[in-house]
């Protein structure tokens, strides 16, 4: 069975980002920004309240401390400092969840941190250190180092497939600073294949193995609502009931 997740809650102050309300009917799980790549205390609580209204589960979407770069730039950071950075962010979201009577569903690192965890053991260990405190599942990519580390540490691992990102020939994600609009029909077709066959076509034209326990859509993709609608309709037979 499959769920659809979305990285969201990324507005900041007076600056708007994504149509969170428009996306909510099409998703099962919200990955809510925790203030270090996007969002702030007002938008964090508003997003939690919106998810609660639509019956959408909420997980933490913490990042490297890179607000200006939207968390999509890598940096050098040691294990202890990163763990503390993550505990700080997840704790902030947890406070708003507690205020609304909503449980923390999972943890999903954002952007560059997510990519670093797939190939850097110390980064993956730091994320697992933070997850030890909250004892919720971790989202990541199948067949990568972070899957190995998370599962070795006893954490539930949820394999993600990306509806609106391209894949390199080696199966890694192409993470851009700004996301471009994608063809919703093509995105839906790719997701269906990922669910049915566990494969996706890369930009180089080869097929790679993927996991698709959860399908991700980014709220900052320009036509995210159209993609979410098309994907949900395409994979509806495989969806886990909310």
**Which structural domain range is residue 199 located in?**
3-238
Residue 234 confidence (pLDDT): 97
d(CA 229, CA 68): 30
Residue 176 confidence (pLDDT): 77
Q: How many CB atoms lie within 10 A of CB 126?
A: 26
Residue 162 belongs to a domain with what CATH number? 3.20.20.370
Residue 242 confidence (pLDDT): 67
Burial class (CB in 10 A: 0-12, 13-18, 19+), 176: exposed
Residue 175 confidence (pLDDT): 78
Q: What is the CA radius of gyration of the chain?
A: 16
d(CA 64, CA 37): 7
Residue 241 confidence (pLDDT): 72
pTM score of the predicted model: 0.96
Do the Cβ atoms of 70 and 39 come closer than 8 Å?
no
Q: How many CA atoms lie within 13 A of 161 on its CB side?
A: 30
Task: Give the total number of structural domains in the chain.
Answer: 1
Dihedral sign for Cα 57, 108, 211, 163, please: positive
3-state secondary structure (DSSP) of residue 30: strand
Name all contacts of 102-105 with Cβ < 8 Å and 24+ positions apart: 102/48, 102/51, 102/52, 102/58, 103/57, 104/58, 104/59, 104/60, 104/134, 104/136, 105/29, 105/57, 105/58, 105/59, 105/136, 105/137
* Residues lower than pLDDT 70 in the chain: 242
Write the secondary structure of 175-197 as one string of H (helix), E (strand) and C (coil).
CCCCCCCCCHHHHHHHHHHHHHH
């Amino acid at each position: 069975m499959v769920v659809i997740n979305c990285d969201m809650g990324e507005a900041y102050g007076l600056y708007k980002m994504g149509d969170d309300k428009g996306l909510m009917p099409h998703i099962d799980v919200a990955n809510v920004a925790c203030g270090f790549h996007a969002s702030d205390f007002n938008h964090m609580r508003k997003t939690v309240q919106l998810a609660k209204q639509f019956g959408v589960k909420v997980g933490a979407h913490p990042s490297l401390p890179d607000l200006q770069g939207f968390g999509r730039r890598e940096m050098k950071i040691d294990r202890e400092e990163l763990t503390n950075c993550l505990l700080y962010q997840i704790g902030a979201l947890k406070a708003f969840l507690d205020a609304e009577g909503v449980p923390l569903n999972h943890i999903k690192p954002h952007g560059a941190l997510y990519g670093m965890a797939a190939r850097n053991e110390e980064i993956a260990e730091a994320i697992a250190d933070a997850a030890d405190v909250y004892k919720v599942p971790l989202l990541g990519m199948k067949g990568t180092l972070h899957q190995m580390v998370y599962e070795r540490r006893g954490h539930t691992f949820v394999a993600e497939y990306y509806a609106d990102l391209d894949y390199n020939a080696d199966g890694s994600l192409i993470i851009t600073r700004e996301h471009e609009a994608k063809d919703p029909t093509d995105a839906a077709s790719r997701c269906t294949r990922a669910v049915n066959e566990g494969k996706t076509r890369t930009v180089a034209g080869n097929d790679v193995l993927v996991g698709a326990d959860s399908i991700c859509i980014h709220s900052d993709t320009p036509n995210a609502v159209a993609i979410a609608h098309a994907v949900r309709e395409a994979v509806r037979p495989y969806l886990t009931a909310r």
